[in-house]
Structure 1
Amino acid sequence: MVITLVGEKLAKPGVEFIYYGPADPCKSCRLARVCVGNLEPGRRYKVVRVRNIEHSCPLHEGKVRVVEVVEPAIDVAVEPRIAVVGSKIKLSFVECNDPEKQDLVKPEGLFEGDLVKILEIVGDFECEGKKYKIVRVIREKE
């Protein structure tokens, strides 16, 4: 669980966002350490709890709220031989040049080489004549 700040409109349980890095005004903000200091650029986060604390912010239409976030489970295509529920694998993205399938091939929030745990197999996936499994994974901290 990570504590951070999000704009008032995003401060609802279940809302997911991807953190792309701090904006210029964040660099001199007194709240930067708790706001953006706890987040990793390129990672996906899901709001799980909203606290009753708010602060003014020049970026988020005036106010940000204190929230608790987690990295959610993400679906990704993998080789069938490694699609074993409960196993931990070092993520290796499969080859697929179809632009419409990139959300499963290289989903935002995961990086090649991440250690992930396979939670479930959610389906089958085919690209360029090769068959893959779609698995739901959660990133493991090394």
Structure 2
Amino acid sequence: MRKVTMVPSAQAKKNTVFRALLDPRCFRCKLFSACSGSLRAGGRYRVVNIRRVSHFCPIIGDDMVVVEVESEPVLAAVESKVAVEGVSLTYSKVECGAACSYRDYCTRAPILKGENVKVVRVLSRIPCPQSRSLTLVELLPLA
């Protein structure tokens, strides 16, 4: 699903992928809802179309260009029993205290607990040091 938002002029190029980082000062701006208000904080997006409108942003000191974006899939670890391509599910982070190379996929995926997501690609099984049955997948937020 496409969303209309604004990005700095340097990112206003087709197929540019960016992560939505929201500055607290943005919440007071009159253009917040049109600019980054529709984006998920930490979400990854790809610019698919550039419009001919821009607005100056006093916070970053640059023009913000109006663009259309699509959500990019996010890498995350899920229980293997739900790691099926095309399945929609309610996301929950894998609670883990182990220090392994996959820990960020278990605990730091930029998806909120309870958010509806779709498994778009199953990548590989994860060798979990806690003997959990986990799989690395690409998830696409549905909201």
Which category of TM-score, normalised to the shorter sequence, fits these structures? Answer: 0.7 to 0.9
Question: How far apart are residue 122 of structure 1 and its match?
Answer: 0.8
Cross-structure match for 2:135: 133
Cross-structure match for 1:32: 32
Cross-structure match for 1:77: 77
Q: Which runs of 5+ in 2 are unaligned?
A: none
| Superposition TM-score, scaled by structure 2 size | 0.80
| Superposition TM-score, scaled by structure 1 size | 0.81
Cross-structure match for 1:44: 44
| Structure 1 residues 62-102: Cα deviation after superposition (integer angstroms, max 9, x where no partner) | 21111112221111111111111111111122233327534
| Structure 1 residues 11-33: Cα deviation after superposition (integer angstroms, max 9, x where no partner) | 2223221233x532651x34223
Cα distance in 2 for partners of 1:86, 1:58 equals 42
Cross-structure match for 1:17: 19
Does the C-alpha gap of structure 1 residues 60 and 49 become closer, same or farther in structure 2, counting only changes over 3 Å? farther
Taking only aligned residues, the RMSD between alpha carbons, in angstroms, comes to 2.2
SS of corresponding position for 1:53: strand
Structure 2 contact 91–116 (Cα < 8 Å) conserved: yes
Cα distance in 2 for partners of 1:33, 1:83 equals 34
Amino acid at match of 1:73: P
Structure 2 contact 19–42 (Cα < 8 Å) conserved: no
Question: Residue 123 in 1 paired to residue 106 in 2?
Answer: no
Does the C-alpha gap of structure 1 residues 46 and 101 become closer, same or farther in structure 2, counting only changes over 3 Å? same
Cross-structure match for 1:112: 113
Cα distance in 2 for partners of 1:129, 1:99 equals 10
Cα distance in 1 for partners of 2:102, 2:34 equals 35
Question: How far apart are residue 111 of structure 1 and its match?
Answer: 1.2
Cα distance in 2 for partners of 1:69, 1:23 equals 22
Stretches of 4+ aligned residues off by more than 4 angstroms: none
Q: Which runs of 5+ in 1 are unaligned?
A: none
